[in-house]
Structure 1
Amino acid sequence: MAKNTVRQDEYQMSRNKIEITLRLLNYLAPYRIKTFLVILLMLFVMVCGILNPYLLKIAIDTHVKESNVRGLMYIGTLLLVLNLLSMIASKVRLIMMSFITNNILVNIRHQLYTHIQRLSFSFFDNRPVGKILARVIGDVNALQNMFNQSIQTLIPELLSLICVSLMMFTLNIKLALASIIILPFLTVSMFLIETQSRKRWEIYRKKRSNLNAYTHEDFSGIKVVQAFGKEYDTLLCFRNMVSALMDAFTKAVRLNDFFWPLVELSWGIGIVVVFYTGYSLVISGEISVGTLIAFSMYIGMFWRPIMNLSNFYNTLITNFSAADRIFDILDISPDIISSENAPKMGKIKGVVEFKNVTFSYDKSSPVLNNISFKVNSGETIALVGATGSGKTTIVSLLSRFYDPTSGEILIDGKNIKNVDIESLRSQMGIMLQDTFLFSTTIKENIRYGKLDATDEEVIAAAKAVNAHDFIIKMEKGYDTEVNERGSRLSLGQRQLISFARALLANPRVLILDEATSNIDTYTEKLVEKGIEKLLSGRTAFVIAHRLSTIRDCDKIMVVDGGKIKEYGTHNELIEKKEIYHNLYMAQYRFLNEGA
């Protein structure tokens, strides 16, 4: 998948109109009974509307002509009852239609959200978060009118058009033919407009997605923006993107606006042709005045569904690009999935083995090159090396965020590609340098490690990592809201909370990726015992640049250039006087010089 940036238009597959329509209509399946009832109500309203001109024709040609007051009263009463029932049916129809449409949108959004959560890291690596949000929120909302009109317009208006046409041909074939003579011109013109209109709406949605992604990125990094005084530069960029969005929208709407004059012009020409023909037929005595009056009403009823169908078609064209963008995501298959009928992992003991593992992110230059090692249960392994050497990639493969290009990764002798992913990851704990906290209370952030944990268990976990003391000093203690990403807390406090969360999860395999890098020396002393308890009885992988924090690890792996160059205890590697020795001495001299 090609890398996409906030200023770059996304690739968008353009699907066949029939394919999109059928896929969207599939979402109506769970509501087929309610949809059928809505259609029945619409048919009833439509029949009432069609009967009005016909009953009026009877009243004029029969009862008015014969001065039959009783007959006129009967027809008047019938018209009143029919129209009253029609109003009630319309109201019920709107309520049911609203229920169906809103539930369909909820289902699509749930499906899209669930699917995105299952997608592999490569999907998120190559697409800004703001563009994903644009699809989950904006593009799904854009489908509301489409679903409303697919039920309210497409089926009933087609049926209405057919019924009205039959009534017109029944009344007089010549007038009916005169009514439809302009339709071929309208159809060809609309098709030509649609070809360009869909392309313009695709461009508009891409520009909107870019703006959404840029805004999200800018606000996420607002501290950097203000720290470097770049508010004006980002404002200029924002204005340019808004301008591009407005330009795309204007071009799309301008072309769409041709629909209405085109349909109204065709309607007007059609009425002129009908009245000219009707006048000739009345003069020649072929039709009565009542027939012409009834037909004049039917001609309006004939063009109204055409107008509504044109509106529906316009809506489809406007929102096909939104449907395309949604289906683009839904059609992406996760790279990392559980194999069919994959067995559960079972309780992990913690024996980890890499066998000839090679991995590349872009399938060109390998990040890891044929590495092999074995870690026994309960051992703590430190990974050291320069930035970009492959340390984080090793633990990412162990968590099965990616699959190796070649080779095998075994836990307790089982290839992790062949077991259920959830049963594997549920027994692993990962703590990153950039600790993520959710916009909720401290208690709930810790409880995320074990959702059914009691308050006592949450507090015990916090005490174990020495986080309890600073938590109870906060305004609401464990019920204090931490704001988005934990912005109310210091970096060290966030790390302590993440330690408590990991301890509560009780993982069998623990990964600490620069987890102590944001903790100051004083806080580090406080948390050392907590970390010791966290590591006790677990297989652990620790990535750290501060080599003083990993001296007591059971084994230290030196990763360089995608390969394991050294492997042993701290004392063994120091005695070798090679890569690890040089790194340790350089860091030791730096600290002494600083002192």
Structure 2
Amino acid sequence: MSQNRNTPQLRMPMGGRPMGGGMHMGGGPMGGMRMAQSGEKARNFKDTMASLLKYLTPYRFPLIIALVLAIFGTVFTIIGPKLLGNATTKLFEGLVSKVTNAAGADIDFTYIGNIVLILVGLYVISAICSYIMGYIMTGVSIKVTYDLRKQIAEKINRLPMKFFDNKTYGEVLSHVTNDVDLISNTLTQSMSQMVTSIVTILGVLVMMFTINWIMALASLIIVPISIGLISMIVGRSQKYFRKQQDYLGHINGHVEEMYSAHNVMKAFNGEAKSIAKFKGLNEELYSASWKAQFLSSIMMPMMNFIGNLSYVVVCILGGFLAIQKTIQVGDILAFVQYVRSFTQPLAQTANIVNVLQSTAAAAERIFEFLGEDEEVPEPSNPVSLKDISGAVSFKDVSFGYSPAKTIIKDFNADIKPGQRVAIVGPTGAGKTTMVKLLMRFYDVNSGAILVDGVNIQDIKRQEYRSAFGMVLQDTWLFNGSIMDNIRFGKLDATDEEVYTAAKTAYVDHFIHTLPSGYEMIMNEESSNISQGQKQLLTIARAVLANPKILILDEATSSVDTRTEMLIQQAMENLMKGRTAFIIAHRLSTIHNADIILVMKDGAIVEQGSHETLLEANGFYASLYNSQFEAGPAEADS
């Protein structure tokens, strides 16, 4: 959701999390987190990889250069064994000549020396090519990672609240971290490895056939065996890798949830249940990890075994052909090295295919996230809300979070500028839902909400929400100084404006009693001040924002009686000349409301002033009297 940096608008800053529907956590910041399943297969590998390649289109020129460098670097390495074989042959011929003919020619060290210099040059050039290729691929990877994270962050701001009703923080966070990191690692390492492996396999085949086609064909016997074994291992291990990453995500989510809700877990003696759940998840993770790692670990030993068999074939066949003078001794040495160079990239290719499956799964999740339905587009000809008076009307408003269940039914109400409107009713009556609709966190299914006679869907969200300030029962403060937390209501506010807002909210005095005063740093959980003090800070934030319309959700519920009286006085001053919506649970706090809307089952069943509703002796009167049956002191406690 867009946010005006100078005004409260969506207003987590006004004192709490966005009303309901925000990113819920199931008990903790990472509650129910489902990490990126690095072993998971994509449902549509081909289309997903095609979509991923589109992200690489702007970098096609450096990628082509990296590809060419990878080919050159690999080719130079492949030529090495052939040249080394020639040097070995020349050395062998010289030694044989000296043995058979003492007066014969000496070993041609000049020829051998030249080959050694050429080999050194080739290997240096190959290393330089690999270095430059790695540098280019790292740069491309970082840029693609940056672009993806930027798009995800922008997408989060465009998603409707209903999306987060079914998602946890961990699920969204996994897109930004695990999924993107996996793609980044693939681009940095696996892509270059795949190119070099393929070029190595093809190049080695060409070199082997140029030496001797009989031995080349004999060496190829290992290919179908290798492919069969690799396919069998990969096919069996893939499901365990998927399960491993799945349960790793569940364990991370459980640990984060228990850590963030540690006080609640302790208070309700949930240690045993938490440990039992962790043990169950950990056992599942152990089982899947053991099987996945075991199956993967046997791949290289099996490939080495097959490679050793190939060495035996090459040596026996090569010795026979050498006796027949069909092949040189140095060529046998070259063949042995080529066989080694041939089996290793086969195993690497199998591993890379596994990584690509995981990468496709991560990319698929990212693209699905980026393809989620966004908020209704902004109006093409938006209406400006400058100098609004604060008149709000609900016209036949109906709404349900799902089509099958309507919560708000034919809601009608007209609020004049400056009026204080209390919304009361039992739990589940739709009080908070009405505020969500008013803030346009959700759009109505039918009917309309008007502000100053203008349908709120005809106003840009950023401008519309900038007219609102919210003070919620559930406070929200961030890791920063107290000054910065108050200033979040109006980011360009001066220090003097912050001090004035703090004094208006009766929070200035206690701030001066804290270490470092306004510069004291709030910790991540804001646990270094009391709940009541946190509530006072969020009220000061709302005062600083100076909004046109206020939404108060039991804003004083977390403070003591004396502080509540001071806050009520501050709120009286704050609400003068402003339209205010007050969600009330303690009915003793809304005596002075101009209009009380009594909700039941999503509909307004009564409306009027406090006295009028009591005289009517209806649903409101029964609610009010039920709170005072045990006495006002207990009812307000």
Aligned to 2:207: 167
CA distance in 2, matches of 1:269, 1:113: 54
Alpha-carbon distance between aligned partners in 2 of 1:342 and 1:281, rounded to the nearest angstrom: 85
1:401 paired residue number: 441
Determine whether 1:330 maps to 2:370. yes
Q: Are 2:460 and 1:417 aligned? A: no
Change (3 A) 1:476 1:197: same
2:324 to 284, 290, 305: 284
What's the CA shift for 1:445?
1.2
Summarize deviations over 1:437-486 as a string: whole Å, max 9, x none: 11221111112222222222222221221211111221111111222342
Larger CA deviation: 15-24 vs 451-460: 15-24
In structure 2, relative to structure 1, the CA distance for the partners of 1:440 and 1:290 (3 Å cut) is same
> What does 1:149-164 correspond to in 2, within 5 Å?
149-164=189-204
Name which of structure 1's ranges 339-348 and 481-490 shifts more when overlaid on structure 2: 339-348
Contact 1:201 1:321 in 2 (8 A): no
What is the rounded CA distance, in whole Å, between the counterparts of 2:416 and 2:41 in structure 1? 49
**2:489 paired with 1:449:** yes
Q: Distance in 2 between matches of 1:258 and 1:545?
A: 65
Are residues 1:429 and 2:469 paired? yes
Aligned residue number for residue 76 of structure 2: 48
Distance 1:332 1:200 in 2: 29
Aligned residue number for residue 15 of structure 1? 43
Deviation of 1:541 (Å): 1.1
The change in CA–CA distance for 1:407 and 1:200 in structure 2 (over 3 A counts) is farther
Change (3 A) 1:174 1:136: same
State the Cα distance separating 1:542 from its structure 2 match: 0.9
Amino acid at match of 1:441: S
Do residues 544 (structure 1) and 584 (structure 2) align? yes
Q: 1:68 to 1:534 in 2, by over 3 A?
A: same
- State the AA in 2 paired with 1:338: P
2:608 aligned partner? 568
- Give unpaired runs (5+ residues) of structure 1: none
Q: Percent identity?
A: 37
Name the SS of the counterpart of 1:484 in structure 2: coil
Retained in 1: the 8 A contact 2:419–2:578?
A: yes
The superposition leaves residues 119-145 of structure 1 with CA deviations (integer Å, 9 ceiling, x where unpaired) of 333333323434444454344444454
The whole-number CA distance in structure 2 between the counterparts of 1:4 and 1:263 is 46
**What amino acid maps onto 1:472 in structure 2?**
H
Q: Which has the larger displacement, 343-352 or 428-437?
A: 343-352
Measured in 1, the distance between the counterparts of 2:563 and 2:588 equals: 15
**Closer, same or farther in 2 for the Cα pair 1:101/1:462, shift >3 Å?**
same
Q: Which letter does structure 2 place at the counterpart of 1:44?
A: F
Contact 1:429 1:509 in 2 (8 A): yes
Instruction: Give the C-alpha shift of residue 62 in structure 1.
Output: 5.9
Calculate the TM-score normalised by the size of structure 2: 0.84
In the aligned structure 1, how far is the partner of 2:299 from the partner of 2:45?
Answer: 18
**Shift in alpha-carbon separation, 1:337–1:479, aligned structure 2, 3 A:** farther
1:514 aligns with 2:542: no
Name the structure 2 match of 1:343. Answer: 382
| 2:557 alignment partner, SS class | coil
Q: Relative CO higher for 1 or 2, CA cutoff 8 Å, sep ≥ 6?
A: 2
Deviations 1:391-414 (A, max 9, x none): 000001111222223222233333
Matched length = 593
Query: Is the 2:82–2:334 Cα contact (8 Å) retained in structure 1?
Result: yes
**Is 1:305 matched up with 2:345?**
yes
Between 1:210-219 and 1:465-474, the stretch displaced more is 210-219
C-alpha spacing 1:123/1:553, structure 2 compared with 1 (3 Å):
same
On the 8 A contact 1:383/1:541 being kept in 2, the answer is: yes
Q: Structure 1 stretch 280-289 or stretch 429-438: which is displaced more? A: 280-289
Distance 2:548 2:309 in 1: 79
CA distance in 1: counterparts of 2:494 and 2:322, whole angstroms: 88
Please say if 1:231 is aligned against 2:271.
Answer: yes
1:558 alignment partner, SS class? strand
1:585 aligns with 2:613: no
Other-structure match for 1:80 = 120
CA change 1:54–1:346 in 2 (3 A) is: farther
Native 8 Å contact 1:259 1:314 kept in 2: no
Conserved 8 A contact 2:85-2:330: yes
2: distance between equivalents of 1:68 and 1:517? 97
Distance in 2, matches of 1:502 and 1:426, equals 12
Q: CA separation of 1:594/1:178 partners in 2, compared to 1, >3 Å: closer, same or farther?
A: closer
1:511: how far off? 1.3
2:334 to 288, 294, 303: 294
Counterpart of 1:22, as a letter, is A
Amino acid at match of 1:79: L
Checking the alignment, whether the CA contact within 8 Å between 1:198 and 1:317 is kept in structure 2 is no
Q: How does 1:69-468 map to 2 (within 5 A)?
A: 69-317=109-357, 320-334=360-374, 336-339=375-378, 341=380, 343=382, 345-347=384-386, 348-468=388-508
**Does residue 499 of structure 1 match 2:527?**
no
Judged with a 3 Å threshold, the aligned counterparts in structure 2 of structure 1 residues 149 and 534 are, in CA distance, closer, same or farther, namely same
Deviations 1:252-298 (A, max 9, x none): 22333343244334433333344444334333333333333333322
Alpha-carbon contact 2:41-2:361 (below 8 Å) kept: no
